[in-house]
Structure 1
Amino acid sequence: MTKLIKHYGAFVLAGGGAFVINSILLLLLVNIMRLDPYLSQAFAVVCGIVYSWFINRKYTFAVTEKPSFQEFIKYCGTMIVSTLVNYSIYSLSITFFAVFYMYPVLALIPATAISMIVSYLGMRFHTFR
């Protein structure tokens, strides 16, 4: 049971940390730099992905081998699918709900929750089998 708690705890830490990084960058880019919320999210989500790669690889899935190009390609595939899900939900949210357009960080909540599920399943059954 403890192993399972550590496993999912690390995944939540990776996703939560990625969410925080994503949110802070999005806030800075949209509210301080006055950049477009769509383009800002595209940049911010990539930064969150890089962070989550390190945490998930080392702690969630405890990969001990050196990273390989094949593994990296699998990871990228998983992250592309997860990112497309994230960005689609984010974009639809800020397009159809005024509150999400006014406060785009709020649109990250449903986008991140659903994309975390997609990314976990992809990592568990594809990237880090």
Structure 2
Amino acid sequence: MTAPAMTKPVPRQFLTFALIGVGGLFVDMAALAVALHLLGLDPYGGRVFSYLMAATFTWYMNRQYTFAGVSRRGALRQWLRFLAANAVGALVNYAVYVVVLQLGGPVIAWVGLWPAALAALLPYAGVAAGSVSGLVFNFVLSRRLVFRQSR
């Protein structure tokens, strides 16, 4: 039996949140591959698409596991609150992604460690770096604003 969301120890919640975030990272990268290779989007538009897919996945999984004691009613409103609460984290995530795309290749090429054949992997490195950048921020806002216990 799962403990209510706000009675679970914060370190355990954070670990669950982070593990779901790793799953979200894989969803993000897979969705980015779909956006780039099947939908024909550029790396920037593709990233918006992949972020929304990953955010939906992480919202649902956190709703089911990390914050299991929270009401199941109002899913659409809760999903929108999740996107809004994580908007700053999303902007930081996207900004880090853009920096990696813009500077990653040239910097690594300058250092001589980046074979040209691996350039196609740079967007996925950007996704990973962006995801890590918003983890703690998104956890705190999700815990306090999205998945809070009803009073």
Query: Given the superposition, is the C-alpha separation of residues 33 and 126 from structure 1 closer, same or farther in structure 2, using an over 3 Å criterion?
Result: closer
Amino acid at match of 2:100: S
Equivalent residue pairs, number: 127
Q: Does 1:44 align with 2:21?
A: no
CA contact (8 A) 2:25 2:54 kept: yes
Taking the aligned partners of 1:62 and 1:32, their CA distance within structure 2 comes to 35
- Specify the alignment match of 1:112 in structure 2: 131
Structure 1 residue 78: Cα displacement: 1.2
Query: Structure 1 residue 80 and structure 2 residue 117: aligned?
Result: no
C-alpha displacement of 1:41: 0.8
Identify if the C-alpha distance between structure 1 residues 14 and 70 changes in structure 2 by more than 3 Å, giving closer, same or farther.
same
User: Bigger CA drift: 13-22 or 59-68?
Assistant: 59-68
- In structure 2, distance between residues paired with 1:94 and 1:27: 15
Report the residue type matching 1:76 in the other structure.
L
Correspondence for 1:22? 28
User: What's the offset of the Cα at 1:37?
Assistant: 0.7
| 5+ long unaligned stretches in structure 2 | 1-7, 109-113
1:96 maps to 103
How far apart are the structure 2 equivalents of 1:46 and 1:74? 13
Kept in 2: contact 1:10–1:55 (CA 8 A):
no
2:24 and 2:55 in contact (8 A); partners too:
yes
- Counting aligned pairs with the same residue, the percent is 22
Which segment drifts farther, 3-12 or 37-46? 3-12
Deviation of the 1:117 alpha carbon: 1.7
Of 31, 44, 59, the residue aligned with 2:65 is 59
Question: What amino acid does structure 2 have at the position aligned with 1:121?
Answer: V
Instruction: Name which one, 1 or 2, has greater alpha-carbon Rg.
Output: 2
Shift of 1:71: 3.9
The normalised TM-score by structure 2 is: 0.70
TM-score, structure 1 as length reference? 0.81
